[in-house]
Chains A and B, each alone.
Chain A
Amino acid sequence: MIGTIFDIKEFSLHDGPGARTTVFFKGCPLRCRWCHNPEGLKAESELMIKRSLCRHCGRCLQPCEHPECEPYERCIHACPHGLIQVSGEKYGVEELAEILMRHVDYFRRCGGGVTFSGGEPLMQSQFLLELARKLDCHVALQTSGYADKDVFQAVVGEMDFVMFDIKLADRQQHMTYTGVFNDRILANLDFLRRSGTDFLIRTPLIPGITDTEENLDAIQRIVGGDPWETLPYNPMAGAKYPMLGMHYALQDRKS
Chain B
Amino acid sequence: MDRALYELIQKKKHHMYRRELSVSLDFAGKPPEERMAMRFEKLCEAETPVILPGEEICYLRTISRIPDIFSEAEWQEIRKTKYIHELGYMSNVSPDYESVIRDGLLKRREAADEYGRRAIDAIFGLADRYRDEAVKQGRRDIAKTLERVPRYGATSFREALQFFRILHFSLWLEGNYHITVGRFDQYMFPYLQADMEKGLYTEESALSLLEDFFLSFNRDSDLYPGVQQGDNGQSMVLGGMDSEGNDAFNLLSKLCLQASEDLKMIDPKINLRVSHNTPLEIYEMGTRLTRAGLGFPQYSNDDAVIEGLTDLGYDLQDARDYVVAACWEFIIPKVGADIANIAALSFPKIVDTCLHRKLAVCHTFEDFMAAVRQEIHEECGRICSSIQNVWFIPSPLLRLCMGEIRYRNEGIHGTGIATAADSLYAIQKYVYGHEIEPDAFLDMIDSDFEHHGEWLPKLRYETEKMGNDVDDVDTIAVELLDDFADALAGRKNDRGGIFRGGTGSAMYYLWHADEIGASPDGRRKGEAFGANYSPSLFAKTKGPFSLIKSFVKPNLKRVINGGPLTLEFHSSMFTDEACIQKVAQLVKTYIDLGGHQLQLNAVNADVLRDAQQHPEDHQQLVVRIWGWSAYFVELDKEYQDHVLQRTEYTI
**A-side interface residues toward B, CB under 8 Å?**
8-11, 13-14, 18-19, 21, 59, 77-80, 82, 102-103, 106, 109-110, 112
Contact = CB atoms under 8 A, between A and B. Distances in A.
Interface in B522-571: 538, 542-546, 549
Question: Dominant SS at the A interface?
Answer: loop
Nearest to A22: B543
Residue among A19, A77, A78, A79 facing the most chain B CB atoms (10 A cut-off) = A19
Residue among B461, B578, B582, B586 facing the most chain A CB atoms (10 A cut-off) = B582
Contact of A77 (B462, B538, B578, B579): B462
20 contacts: A10-B543, A10-B546, A10-B651, A11-B651, A13-B582, A18-B582, A19-B585, A19-B586, A59-B453, A77-B457, A77-B458, A77-B462, A80-B453, A82-B457, A82-B538, A102-B469, A109-B585, A109-B589, A110-B582, A112-B582
Nearest to B547: A10
B154 to A, nearest CB: 43
B582 A82 contact: no
B453 A106 contact: no
A10 B546 CA distance: 8
Contact of B543 (A9, A82, A110, A112): A9
B573 A82 contact: no
Contacts of A102: 469, 545-546, 549
A80 B544 contact: no
Contacts of B320: none
B197 interface: no
Contacts of B546: 10, 102-103
B168 interface: no
A138 B579 CA distance: 18
B454 interface: yes
A80 B582 contact: no
B326 interface: no
A19 to B, nearest CB: 4
B579 A13 contact: yes
Nearest to A8: B542
A110 B544 contact: no
A255 to B, nearest CB: 15
A106 B589 contact: yes
Contacts of A82: 457, 460-461, 538
Given A18-B582, A79-B457, A109-B585, A11 B543 contact: yes
A8 to B, nearest CB: 7
A59 B461 CA distance: 16
A68 to B, nearest CB: 12
Contacts of A106: 545, 589
A21 B453 CA distance: 36
Given A11-B651, A102-B545, A109-B589, 14 more contacts: A10-B544, A11-B544, A13-B582, A14-B579, A18-B582, A19-B582, A59-B453, A77-B462, A78-B457, A80-B453, A82-B460, A102-B546, A102-B549, A112-B582
B146 interface: no
B590 to A, nearest CB: 11
A59 to B, nearest CB: 8
Contacts of B458: 77
Interface string B440-484: 000000000100011011101110000001000000000000000
A59 B452 CA distance: 13
A176 B61 CA distance: 68
B457 A10 contact: no
B586 A11 contact: yes
A106 B458 CA distance: 32
Nearest to B544: A11
A92 B88 CA distance: 62
B504 to A, nearest CB: 25
Given A10-B542, A103-B545, A110 B585 contact: yes
